Structure 1
């Protein structure tokens, strides 16, 4: 006797169809929470070696996947495009209920391999990689907003360094986004402030050079807003956010390295010219366990590259 559980996953619920030897024996809707999953567990245990098939729906299907992993049930999680192609001829009237039933019924027609179960560390790396990307986008967004704000106050400040992506620059922006604040000090006083502005070690000569250049730039500046404008508050806010986000990116990179460094592919990928820790850990986070792909074509299909 062969039993297939077809499940269609939504945001808060799942539609379930149970088919035994091609005959539907039950259909029901369950909540995607502990009470609903407890009911699903009782149903699964009522049959011998039930097969479970469902379509991946991003973060929503992860709850079901985690539940099945924790209770050691085998399952087939279908790529949405694959599921669409398989079911298109069977569902002229598409509903979540019919999808669940069709998933179960087609399992008696189509051979579906069981999904590969990865080491949980790959899921952890995947989440960290996505978090890193989100923070990186936030940094870019806040830098663009800061650039626009500085155009109203002290645009020359952006030419103080050839590379503005460093803590010393952010510290100077925090203190001297208004040119008149710079002109209150002599270059020796500015040098002292710069030396003590960050934990980064710089020489006295370097600090003096920066101080003199900062004074020259402040004398050239022509702010288009008053000294009490809210724009200065905005600059303070954006500067603080950027510093926090850059530190968060470094923290995530360290955590990813700690998670990935014991994986067999980590050191191998590091041998590729141009691949550093960030690239390797992000690559592993996005691809997961590469051993689950039976060929390079399968990997390309997963990524979405049309060679």
Structure 2
């Protein structure tokens, strides 16, 4: 180290001790400083050696070995462009802040800066940036293709580090420095390449949820149009979105058109569009005839609302078909993974939930233990004890995968409904809701979600099905 530190009235040059690791052939570096006492004391007898870790400290790698923290290129990612800056350590910048576009020439600037930084420090630097939803995906893909090591920082961790200052200042240029400080102050592991199958599953699940949102909106619009044209139609078909219900509406969109048909013709039409017996079709045709006699439509046959209803029916059918196709594709992919059958063996979890839960968890073997998996889902309890506050019975952190939390809650609800199989989830729920200090139903359900996730971890780790 070239710098010199001042302690009291003495200028003391720091030096380092390199200690070989006992487990491996790697070395651990401890910067040390000679400390002397007041003037007049015997430096030889009163000199001490203090060992302290600096920003460029040794950190453990994923295999337990010790390695030096290397230089980095901090990237503040925005939509369409980013700011980059090289750092030798947390206080020493290698270059000025540079703005680049998210294209090949812009990303090549990162490689150019990395080459210069590696040559200067004689190290293989890493690229550090925050997770920014979809905006960092192009950068991540470019780094993967070029074999560049990178680290993705949690934005919450970066924001908390920035807010430690008394006067918080935030600009794109300052963000690069903050990201570099977060990197040098914490122990991060490089992002391991993700299996293509897990990535595809997760993306399909996100698309499935997006399609479900569109389907919900289409159903709302459909119900509004149906209430104008055919009010009370849901009394005849409580399940509005079955094939027979929608086919009747497409063929006879107005009650008057439906009323002109005989019971026999309606029964024959229903026979073609469902799997029920003839008796059911005749009964349903009779209900439709009675409905048309009592129904008072909110529009005429040639009204524009009839056309709107037909359009909404097509949208609902379109999104139902897309949702089914996407879900089926997810299930087919998930069946290639051994964990799929293990998760599906839990009472209340079918192919649908098993595939979606597996998509959001990913490779479960990357978690060291069930606690890490619970924290990833964000259902770990908040710990906050101060004074008279004992820190017990607090809310969950919710700092994790919200989609996985929703799926776990849904899986718990399904497990509670299963009466034909013994379920440890149902037993745990009954225990929590009937103990002396009984939990509220929703709190007990969240506790069951925590237990369910631990069960999933145990099944996937051992390779044994649920018993």
Q: Which residue of 1 aligns with 2:343?
A: 269
Q: Which residue of 2 aligns with 1:102?
A: 178
Q: For residues 45 and 167 of structure 1, what CA distance do their matches in structure 2 show?
A: 62
| TM-score w.r.t. length of structure 2 | 0.61
8 A Cα contact 1:139 1:246, kept in partner: yes
The structure where helix makes up a greater share of residues is: 1
Q: Which residue of 1 aligns with 2:432?
A: none
| TM-score w.r.t. length of structure 1 | 0.91
Question: Counterpart of 1:108 in 2: which secondary structure?
Answer: helix
Q: Which residue of 2 aligns with 1:212?
A: 286
Q: Which residue of 1 aligns with 2:36?
A: none
Instruction: Name whichever of 250-259 and 96-105 sits farther off.
Output: 96-105
8 A Cα contact 1:167 1:243, kept in partner: no
Cα distance change on mapping 1:297 and 1:87 into 2, 3 Å: farther
1:25 and 2:94 matched: yes
Gaps of 5+ in 2: 1-67, 382-395, 397-467
Corresponding pairs, count: 305
**Match among 207, 222, 230 for residue 146 of structure 1:** 222
8 A Cα contact 2:158 2:178, kept in partner: no
Gaps of 5+ in 1: none
Q: Which residue of 2 aligns with 1:34?
A: 104
If asked which structure has higher relative contact order (CA below 8 Å, sep 6+), I would say: 1
Q: Which residue of 2 aligns with 1:287?
A: 361
Q: Which residue of 2 aligns with 1:128?
A: 204
Q: For residues 369 and 173 of structure 2, what CA distance do their matches in structure 1 show?
A: 34
1:190 and 2:266 matched: yes
Question: Counterpart of 1:234 in 2: which secondary structure?
Answer: helix
Q: For residues 191 and 369 of structure 2, what CA distance do their matches in structure 1 show?
A: 16
Larger Rg: 2
**Match among 162, 169, 188 for residue 93 of structure 1:** 169
Q: For residues 99 and 338 of structure 2, what CA distance do their matches in structure 1 show?
A: 42
8 A Cα contact 1:154 1:218, kept in partner: no
Alignment deviations for residues 51-75 of structure 1 (CA, whole Å, 9 cap, x no partner): 1211100000122222222222222
Q: For residues 337 and 331 of structure 2, what CA distance do their matches in structure 1 show?
A: 10
Alignment deviations for residues 24-79 of structure 1 (CA, whole Å, 9 cap, x no partner): 11131111122211222333344242112111000001222222222222221111
Alignment deviations for residues 4-29 of structure 1 (CA, whole Å, 9 cap, x no partner): 11111000111111012452111311
Alignment deviations for residues 195-248 of structure 1 (CA, whole Å, 9 cap, x no partner): 33x3x4443333222222111111110112222111111110111111111111
Q: Which residue of 2 aligns with 1:165?
A: 241
1:75 and 2:143 matched: no
Please give the root-mean-square deviation of Cα atoms over the aligned residues, in Å. 2.1
Q: Which residue of 2 aligns with 1:6?
A: 74
Deviation at 1:125, TM superposition (A): 1.6
Question: Counterpart of 1:77 in 2: which secondary structure?
Answer: strand
Question: Counterpart of 2:75 in 1: which secondary structure?
Answer: strand
